Amino acid sequence: MADPSFDIVSKVDRQEVDNALQQTSKELKQRYDFRGMNAGIEWSGEEAVAIHAESENHVRAALDVFKERLVRRNLSIKAFEFTEPALSGKIYKLSGSLRQGIDSDNAKKIAKKIRDEAPKGVQPLIQGDQLRVSGKKKDHLQEVISLLKAADFDIALQFTNYR
């Protein structure tokens, strides 16, 4: 029988992000402090979000509302990378891109942390944009999961295929 294992991935359910975006858009239309500010949020491409308003403060406030909606839907804010508000004509714009997958630098950091601090017998293996961690005992794998949850990486991590 094969050793117990699990996968470390960085994926976000796009439908949940879309729901958070729709809720934010609805709130921006209803809130008193956004009336007449031409504020809005929408998808700009497959993996990017655009926020616009007539003042920099309103763009930042709309971003805060969007982040709040993401957190309420149990999505990590680390899954997005936002730019600074920039003036474009009379309107301030801000864009955010959705980051999915674990890049090679972060995968190496995670694998090094597992090798250095995890119990003996636990092996990380980089497989494209995810990591597979295997070990002799399920208890050791659970220790690795708690270790990685306590560590602060600059990406959102999920643990899947635990067997």
Domain limits, the chain = 5-10+102-160, 14-98
Under a CB-based contact definition with an 8 Å cutoff, are residues 64 and 31 in contact?
Answer: no
Residue 95 has pLDDT above 90, yes or no: yes
Cβ atoms 141, 135 nearer than 8 A: yes
Look up residue 107 and give its two tokens: 């995968």
The two domains 5-10+102-160 and 14-98 share their CATH topology (first three levels equal) = yes
In 22-90, DSSP assigns E strands to: 40-43, 48-53, 80-82, 86-88
pLDDT per position as a tens digit, 74-85: 999 999 999 999
Quickly tell me which residue has 């003036």 as its tokens.
Answer: 87
Residue 163 and residue 5 in contact, taking contact as beta carbons nearer than 8 Å: yes
What class is the 14-98 domain?
alpha beta
> pLDDT, tens digit, for every residue of 103-119?
999 999 999 999 999 88
When the pLDDT of each residue in the chain is averaged and rounded to a whole number, the result is 92
pLDDT for 113-137, tens place per residue? 999 998 888 999 999 899 999 999 9
CATH topology of domain 5-10+102-160: Alpha-Beta Plaits (3.30.70)
